[in-house]
Amino acid sequence: MPTDQHHSAFRHRCVERVRALGLADEEQLTVPALCERLSGLRGRPLHVVAIGLPLGSPDGLLIEMQDQDFIVYEARLAPVHQQQVVLHEIGHLICDHPTLATHSPLVAELFTPSLDPGLVNRVLGRDHTHTEEEREAEYIGSLLGQRICSWSTDKTRPVPPGAQDLVVRLSALESRRLAWV
C-alpha cells in the first residue's frame, strides 16, 4: 500500500518534470505551443492528429518514429476529453516511458499511405491499467491541463436576468438539503 511519503514523492517528481520543460509561468499555455516546445526539446516534430479510431481502440496513442512523433486521438471524443487524452500522451512523452516495440497493423492502417509503416519504431501499446506509469502520465497531463484550462477558479458566475428567479428557487432547495443533513 503506497504511503503518504510515496504520494508526496510521486507528486514532486511529476511537478519537477513539468517544471523542467521551462514553460514561462505567466505564459497562457496552449496544446500547440506545448507541442512546439516539446518538438524543440526533442529535436524533432511532434504532430497531434485526430482520427476516427476503430471500435475497441484506446482513446489515444503515442507513436514515436526515428525523426518525428505523433499523438493520435479519437476524433469523436468531447473536446475536453480530447485535450486530456492528448495531455496524457504528452505525459508519457515527457516521462520517456518505455514502449513496446511493435509494427501494429492498426498503426499501418491508420497512417498508410501518408506514412511508411516500416518507419514506425515504437507504439505505446498500453493496457491503461493503474500502473505507476499510467498514473504519472495522467497526473502530468492534469498539471499541464491546469495551465491550459480557461475555467476560472472563481465559483460565482453572473446570472442572466431571466434566470434569477430559477437560481433563487434552486438555492433555496440547496439550503433545505443542508438543513436536513
Helices (H), 149-180: 164-180
Mean residue pLDDT of the chain comes to: 77
This prediction has a pTM of 0.70
CB burial readout 116-139, b (16+ within 10 A) else e? eeeebebbbebeeeeeeebebbbb
What is the C-alpha separation between 59 and 88, in angstroms, rounded? 10
150-174 pLDDT per residue, tens: 554 555 566 777 777 777 777 777 6
